Amino acid sequence: MIKSYEYPAFQTVYDNLEAWSLERGVDPGDERRYRKRELAAAALCYVNDGGESLMPPPQWPLPAEYWIPEFMRPFGGLTYDERRRFSLARAAALLLAEHMRVDPVDNEFRYEMLDFTLRYTVDGIRQCSIKGPLRNRIIEDKLVRAIRANISMWVDHQEPSRCLLDGVADIIVLMDFLAGEPVFDNTKQQEH
């Protein structure tokens, strides 16, 4: 059974979470000033924009200086898919920070919940019966809709904090799917 930390995208998400902490000088779980679900709303902005805009979108809930478009990073010269993956990683990191803020469970339990959600999402992709050139586009669209729905449910006060981890899992799966990682090959047998 694959654990969350074994997904290639997970390390990128975790690195972004640490970068957020260093940039802000605080532990993600100690973001007490953000009580109106701003971190999740900011994550949704990264999902929707893809890091392409120089200025934050109008619905950006944080100070403008926290908007970091991916093309402005020092390593520059990234492809569209690479920029999108980095924006998704920032979104997932913000969702993890929000989950740490509102749900003080220990990280081991948090990642066990994330592991379960990742398995469920990957199994759904493996079972996709659609064939041909539209398969990847349909799977990508479904994942993006699921990410937006999970974040929106939290921002709109409709769901418990579990939907934050569902959003993180969907983002990790989408990042690896966009990178062509083999965990989504429906011919592979799942380990038990």
For residues 148 and 159, what is the distance between their CA atoms, to the nearest angstrom?
Answer: 13
- pLDDT tens, 115-154? 888 887 888 777 777 777 787 788 888 888 888 888 888 8
pLDDT for 7 equals 72
- Report the SS3 class of residue 68: coil
Q: Please tell me the predicted confidence (pLDDT) of residue 186.
A: 46
In angstroms, the CA 188 to CA 125 distance is 12
pLDDT for the residue numbered 187: 44
pLDDT at 188 over 70: no
pLDDT at 192: 38
Which residue, 45, 11, 9, 29, is CA-closest to 180?
A: 9
Is residue 160's pLDDT more than 60? yes
| pTM, entire model | 0.79
* pLDDT tens, position by position, 64-110: 877 876 555 555 567 777 778 888 888 888 888 888 878 877 777 88
CA-CA distance, 137 to 29, in Å (whole number)?
35
CB-CB contact of 126 with 183 (8 Å)? no
Question: According to the model, what pLDDT value does residue 5 have?
Answer: 66
Domain residue extents for the chain: 4-184
Cα–Cα distance for residue pair 85/63, rounded to 1 Å: 23
- The per-residue pLDDT for range 26-68, each reduced to its tens digit, is 555 555 666 678 888 888 998 888 767 778 889 988 888 778 7
Angle CA(35)–CA(40)–CA(46) in degrees, nearest 5? Answer: 140
Question: Given this model, what pLDDT does residue 153 score?
Answer: 86
Contacts of 35 (CB under 8 A, 6+ apart): none
